[in-house]
């Protein structure tokens, strides 16, 4: 059990380091649109831009796994599991939810969304990702 916990912690720490490096605040708009350097990207798109509140407010996003999320303009959040959540963009590209989860979001050039986060031991890398689009 202890070995598994240490392994999960190592994966989580490595993931946090890499995500911090890859999603660092870029000093110029051109750099932000270019995304992280190719060596730092672990498979996520490098041609997106960090999501803003305006990108999500009042929209329903349908994800590639069949799940959905509604981002109310008033900060309320609902999905297939809850109708009583809250959301906010704490900084460009970072969406925080009432349960203290923070997920990185990008808006891709075609208007679709990409989100990713780390969840220790749920996959080989701990990295989870989904693509979504505005839906009704």
* Domains assigned to the chain: 2-30+49-135 (2.40.128)
Q: Which residues of 25-50 are buried (b: 16+ CB within 10 A; e: fewer)?
A: ebeeeeebeebbeeebeeebbeebbb
Instruction: Convert the pLDDT of each residue in 18-31 to its tens digit.
Output: 444 444 444 455 55
Which helix (H) or strand (E) segment holds residue 53: the answer is helix 53-56
Instruction: Convert the pLDDT of each residue in 92-129 to its tens digit.
Output: 999 999 877 889 999 999 999 999 887 666 566 677 88
Q: How is residue 135 written in tokens?
A: 């839906």
DSSP-based three-state secondary structure for 54: helix
């Amino acid at each position: 059990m202890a070995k598994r916990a240490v392994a999960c912690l190592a994966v989580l720490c490595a993931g946090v380091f890499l995500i911090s490096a890859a999603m660092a605040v870029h000093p110029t708009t051109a750099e932000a649109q270019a995304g992280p350097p190719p060596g730092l990207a672990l498979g996520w798109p490098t041609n997106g831009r960090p999501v803003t509140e305006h990108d999500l407010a009042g929209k329903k996003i349908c994800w590639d796994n069949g799940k959905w999320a509604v981002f109310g303009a008033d900060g309320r959040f609902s999905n297939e599991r809850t109708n009583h959540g809250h959301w906010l963009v704490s900084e460009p590209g970072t969406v925080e939810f009432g349960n203290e989860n923070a997920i990185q979001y990008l808006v891709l050039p075609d208007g679709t969304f990409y989100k990713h986060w780390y969840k220790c031991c749920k996959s080989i890398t701990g990295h989870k990702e989904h693509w979504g689009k505005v839906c009704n």
